[in-house]
Amino acid sequence: MPDRIDGERCLQEGAAHRETARKIAEKYERRSNTRHWTAGPRRVVRGALALLSLVTMGIAVFFTPPDRVWLPAFLGICILLGYVVFPHRKEERRDDHIPWFDVVLMAAGAGALFWFAFRGTQPPQLYSLAGWELVVGAVGLTSLGELCRRCVGLPLTCITAAALIFAFLQSSPARVMEQIFCITGEWGGAVGLPVEVCAKYIALFFIFGAFLEKAGSSSFFTDLAVALAGRSSGGPAKVAVIASALCGMTSGSSVGNTVSTGSTTIPMMKRAGYRGEFAGAVEAAASTGGQLIPPIMGAAAFLLAEAAQVPYSDVIRRALLPALLYFAGIFVEVHLEARKGRLKGLPREEVPGVWSLIRQKGFLLLPLLLLVMLIVTQPLPLTHVVVLSILAAIAAGAVNRDDMLTPGKALDALAEGARSTLTVAVSCSMAGIVVGVIMGSGLPELIILWSSPLQEGWLLPALVVVMAVCLMLGMVVPTTANFCILSAICVPVLTQLGADPLPAYFFLFYFGIVSDLTPPVAVAASAGAEIAGSDPLRTAGNATKLAIAGFIVPYIFVLSPSVLLIDTTPLDVVQMLISSMFGVFGIAAGLVGYFLRPMNWALRLLSVLGGLSLIYPGTMTDITGIVIIVAVLSIQTIQNSRDPDSLIDP
């Protein structure tokens, strides 16, 4: 009887955690704010979403229609399902209800895109739109804009509307509509390259992530993190870092990852003795960084590959060292904070054995390993590789006895993958419109002309300006839209000032992601603060400090591309890895204020300077950094010998 009562209590607590997580996700992330369908209508909606995923997978493997047909049709399907999934306001809580005006907007918008898909069946040529077809285009834009407001947010809708107004003032309506709906294979337009990348690659990776989660990977990743770091000093925070990093690869959302893993790890950290604002910050920083870890990075990584015209395998290879530095910084800060506060790890009885866990559930890693192997060796197109990895995830879930992937869960995974795709597709479409207007206005050429008298010495100030713009825009628009818009404006300027194109794209990619941590908006940090019951601004400040490598490393790989493994030898890579890790430790010690003992401000500053010198590639900078860090270590050792009892701040 007591066992049964405890089991019922655990189920009730789990349900309460999930409900709390859902409410927080709806508050901070628009794509989590969905209509409430029940019973039969829910099954119909789930089936329609699953069908979109199946169609996307089928087209990726068996049939490739012309882009001028498939992309407008894909966006039209997204409009149909988008109005079914996303209500017109957050407060809408009526079950199984869709208002008449949503039906009108849905039908009109989808019909307009389907019309342009039908036009694509004709011989390829530049559209010549006139008369009623202009009205069709206007209806499609209106419906798309309203859907963007619902699932992405008002700021991107307003930015797109302002761009369209500017375009109509500069050119005829027919010409503007042609640029928006003509398939040219370029970045501009509602059905341009960003939507193509979403339909071909991003959607498949969302489906893969959904299947991996339904197969039980999230709980396995958390258990693995506990087994690896649970018993060490400050173990719960290290568990949060590792678990959030692993789960972040499959979630594709910093807020979603913060809420899903944070509902477990943040209370665990607080019980271990961490302050609420620090616990929430750890979870937010690690969850946000999940989009930086290969092999499954954020959706913008696929746009980065297309913009830089490099294979996706090249992107994940070059992203590996910066991602390691990012998480090394968080991990070291967490460790030093635990040492400073004398925080202990989890009890032995609560920590599973690593090898026993891998023997029991290690097969859940096989889909990821297969994905990495096929991407690196490139025996097949990327679309085929992802579909094979999806099948591997299904197989792994089918043999997981503790959390078996049932047909119902498989259907849920297909639906969840499609639901995530809707938001990104709309975001890519609206960003494509803005980019088309920017390119058509000649603004990039004008900026290049203005910057042509500047020399390479202006590169660093230009990077600071681009970072500020990227962070500000990233506070109000998704990473995908942020990257699309700014890459059209900023990359030409940075390359004009001496930067290599690939590091410049990575620079935008990084700051578009870490903008989820920076105050005053800081959506990921705010979600973590809500779970931790802490002040959002203090939590955001701590998260920014924890993720400091994400703000430093982008400058370094623009100024010295070798960090992205460009023009390097294996020996160079080993040297950079060793020196950079020591550099991260020095920076973390300076920020936390603890090395072997508490540090005064002079030693903290020296430690940060030494760390920066070690991270920046170069023999002289490495020697300088080593000298500084050794000096700080020596001073701390002497202080310990003179005053061994004063190791912790009073």
Q: What is the pLDDT of residue 567?
A: 83
Q: What is the pLDDT of residue 5?
A: 34
When pLDDT is averaged across residues 346-365 and rounded to a whole number, the result is 87
Which residue is associated with the tokens 């500017």?
A: 166
Smallest CA-to-CA distance from 366 within 339, 398, 340 is with 398
* Eight-class DSSP state of 202: I
Q: Which of 1-10, 470-479, 638-647 holds the top average pLDDT?
A: 470-479
Q: What is the pLDDT of residue 20?
A: 65
Structure tokens at 394: 């299904």
What's the pLDDT tens digit per position in 254-293? 888 888 888 888 988 988 888 899 999 999 999 998 888 8
What count of residues does the chain have?
650
Buried/exposed code over 541-561 (b: 16+ C-beta within 10 A; e: otherwise): bbbbbbbbbbbbbbbbbbbbb
Q: What is the pLDDT of residue 493?
A: 87
* Eight-class DSSP state of 393: H
Alpha-carbon distance values, 353 to 233, 239, 361, 584 (Å): 17, 14, 12, 29
Q: Is the pLDDT of residue 645 over 60?
A: no
Q: How confident is the model at residue 245 (pLDDT cuts 50, 70, 90)?
A: confident
DSSP per-residue letters across 580-632: HHHHHHHHHHHHHTBSSSB--HHHHHHHHHHHHHHHS-SHHHHHHHHHHHHHH
**Type of residue at 360:** Q
Alpha-carbon distance values, 421 to 131, 164, 200, 312, 471 (Å): 33, 25, 11, 19, 24
Cis check for the bond before 478: say yes or no (omega within 30 of 0): no
Smallest CA-to-CA distance from 287 within 295, 302, 298, 277 is with 298
When pLDDT is averaged across residues 136-157 and rounded to a whole number, the result is 92
Percent of the chain whose pLDDT exceeds 90 = 45
Cis check for the bond before 295: say yes or no (omega within 30 of 0): yes
Give the whole-angstrom CA distance, residue 501 versus residue 492. Answer: 8
Give the whole-angstrom CA distance, residue 517 versus residue 543. Answer: 6
In this prediction the pTM is 0.90
Q: Is the pLDDT of residue 531 over 60?
A: yes
Q: Is the pLDDT of residue 56 over 70?
A: yes
Alpha-carbon distance values, 614 to 298, 377, 407, 570, 576 (Å): 28, 33, 52, 18, 8
Q: How confident is the model at residue 1 (pLDDT cuts 50, 70, 90)?
A: very low
What's the pLDDT tens digit per position in 484-503? 999 988 998 898 888 899 99
What's the pLDDT tens digit per position in 595-616? 888 899 999 999 999 999 998 8
Q: What is the pLDDT of residue 12?
A: 42
